[in-house]
A and B are shown apart, each in its own frame.
Chain A
């Protein structure tokens, strides 16, 4: 049995016929070729698969396609504007917040949502926001500093 859904990904609608149990991370990666959203634990713990669903960060490995039907999904590929990096992406670059980079898209999405809702978060608000994203390489310090640097 399949169901028809429309996923609006980075502003573009995609009409798809999906299994009811298909996850959004699988659809993004395998059907839409948007491999910037990574997958690791598949249990909603690591944050590597974080996307924005109607502007809120969610683990796309736990998000079933029908749950996202008709809603707005944003992925890391949608952060650029006219080929220009968002200030947050730029800050990740210059602050050394990226090492192996596997966690990076997830952090960017989580922090983007934070900054949209709260343009001037305190350090502890930043830490609170990203606590569900794991990174094994950086020790978080430079990620936090990168987010802090764009808080204006």
Chain B
């Protein structure tokens, strides 16, 4: 047993560097931040209160210094003495009974040190899952999708593990394969799940009276929409390292959005007490919702316990495509009724989700699709039915917006058609129906700080100008078009409390650490949280080191998902920062025997009785008692929804946006190019504009992919394009650089410094806006994503364009 080989790296957990190197990088970061702050302040003029704030500054990311050096600690980069490498044997069939698993040849293969099958995992530990425990760590007697893991093998090298996997013999008895949701629901179809058959969830929600709503309507639009499954395509494939440290703590270093989830799960799966398990998030190379399920965690943990050696497992790209969660394939049937003057009177929605083989986040995505039906508009009479079913596809799970991008695609396309039919502009129809302060959502929540109309205001003049510019420009086979789409999106988990906490502590040498539960998955949230905590504590932003995503060092603050980190963890960091400041000031006052109110910590120095000392001097003055200072912040807004009626307040706040895009369709080739995008967001106060723009630009790129090409092609339950050659991701030539991020002037009264967040949402309107722009350009209405060349040519021909 090589217990004890692992030492906690000194300094920054994200950096691979010696202590000296890290100190040098740190100094470099200090200089960079100080220069930035100085420059930004100089540019801000003299409005003192706001000027002094670091909130709103373009503070460089605190991890970029080692990322640009190639010295970031991604899980795949971690090597340990005695390490073994793991690979999986995966199902060859989409649906089959397992008759026999023969590992005898693999056991004696060169380098093999351990083999794990479901047979050795006790029943009550076999099943895992983020919402329901339904997914076997390794399949035992049945496989439900091609690519499902059956056996895990560790060997001295990855190649040896791979070779040994080929020696495992699995006897299957193939079962009927369920490949469409309709088939899943049909009478007599084989049951995929022993408990629920083929229905994961079937949700109903209504408000008002749908029949009356349609009788009030002068016009009714009834359309079907369909979207294909897509993959997250984070560039870093899932990777993790498991070992037992010298204190007998099972430690898993893994790229994840939610270390605390794995922590609880691993304790159960290994039968260890929670304090004997630790999960530390490594640098995450992109996630987008796809790193919140079990991938490498359980198998690597069980195999390290079994072999007594550190185990590393890294997925291949093909494994990502075949075996990790996908964005749901979805069908939407929508009836929309409105009056002649453009007022929506009724919306009737029928959603069907291909949930794949296991539940993953299907419930959560379904709930969100129900709550967001009709967003961001006033819908007096609404009826939604949403069914998610099992099929023999890889499980569908969470991906950027939890399904809302597809709901918005349908809704926004309908609204644009409505505007056209009524001879209104797409702006006007949204002004008539768009949510404003004091409106109620379909769950009965009263809204405040709604910036939707402001985002429309920001887009309107650009739209009008571009319309003029483009008049008469479209000719021949290259047709230009403009499209508009809006979004409204609830921040955080849907309908259940999901608190975040933060702690701020200082050391006698003046270093300050903020402990935040939600990990930075590449968005830069650690930097934003440092900015918020620093602002509230009254200290310099570069003084704060953020420790996040470590189950031992931080509290469970939920995952980094649902666009919740800036708002939830930001609020927690804000409260913790203020608490720290109070305690710190009191400690200084006590030392100086000064009245409490004469001591102020601000701008990284302490002013006490009109004398100024540096923060370090103050820390020295406080001395050992500094250990007693611990700023604590918990943000836990009251969220509750009745799961039967959907009545209640599912989210503490909502973000809104309006996007305008300009596209060009080549009617001969069927290809579409995004030329420009204007993205006006109500994201509340912007904590770090560089980061927020980065989220929007990345969201636009992802939206272009989903709109135009991305699709996991499946046939008979097998994925036909499990690699980037045939699964097309947008490259630099495909994404316009003409993306204008516009932050409208809004302030959320409940957000940290008024912030709400950006993250997922910038993706949501893009496919809808592009579809509407296509309709504008070629006079045919797309109803399918992706709008690839084949689809477009069919559409163009079908409509005689």
Interface residues of A (CB under 8 A from B): 29-30, 33-43, 45-46, 48, 75-77, 79-80, 83, 85, 89, 92-96, 98-105, 108, 123, 127-128, 130-145
Contact = CB atoms under 8 A, between A and B. Distances in A.
A135 B235 contact: yes
Interface stretch (B5-13, B58-66, B530-538): B58-66
Contacts of B729: 134, 136
B697 A138 contact: yes
Contacts of A141: 697, 735, 737, 739
Contacts of A145: 737
A77 B16 CA distance: 12
Given A96-B690, A102-B286, 10 more contacts: A39-B76, A40-B237, A100-B287, A102-B522, A133-B732, A136-B288, A139-B698, A140-B732, A144-B732, A145-B737
A93 B701 contact: no
Contacts of B696: 139
Contact of B24 (A38, A46, A83): A83
Given A139-B699, A139-B739, A131 B70 contact: no
Nearest to B67: A101
A42 B522 contact: no
Binding site secondary structure of chain B: loop
Nearest to A37: B70
Nearest to A130: B732
B723 to A, nearest CB: 6
Nearest to A126: B732
Given A100-B521, A130-B732, A136-B288, A40 B236 contact: yes
B521 A35 contact: no
Interface string B711-749: 000000000000111000101110101010000000000
B732 A100 contact: no
In the A-B complex, list the 9 residue pairs whose CB atoms are closest, starting with the nearest: A36-B70, A100-B522, A102-B285, A139-B697, A76-B70, A101-B67, A139-B701, A35-B77, A96-B690
Contacts of B72: 101
Contacts of B74: 35, 38, 102
Contacts of A131: 731-733
B694 interface: yes
A43 B724 contact: yes
Interface in B105-139: none
B64 A105 contact: no
A145 B65 CA distance: 18
B233 A136 contact: yes
B16 A35 contact: yes
A48 B71 CA distance: 14
A63 to B, nearest CB: 17
Given A138-B694, A139-B699, A100 B234 contact: yes
Contacts of B236: 38, 40, 100, 102
B94 to A, nearest CB: 24
A144 B737 contact: yes
B673 to A, nearest CB: 13
A33 B521 CA distance: 24
Contacts of B69: 36, 76-77, 79-80, 85, 89
Interface in B414-438: none
A98 B64 contact: yes
A41 B724 contact: yes
B335 interface: no
Contacts of B737: 123, 127, 140-141, 144-145
A105 B70 contact: yes
A138 B698 contact: yes
Contacts of A137: 286, 522, 694, 698
Interface in B215-237: 232-237
A28 to B, nearest CB: 10
Given A102-B235, A103-B235, A136-B235, A92 B284 contact: no
26 contacts: A35-B77, A39-B76, A41-B317, A42-B317, A76-B70, A77-B71, A79-B69, A85-B68, A89-B68, A93-B65, A96-B690, A96-B693, A100-B235, A100-B236, A100-B285, A101-B285, A102-B74, A102-B235, A104-B68, A131-B732, A134-B731, A136-B234, A139-B696, A139-B701, A142-B697, A144-B732
B735 A45 contact: no
Given A41-B723, A99-B522, A100-B285, A93 B68 contact: yes
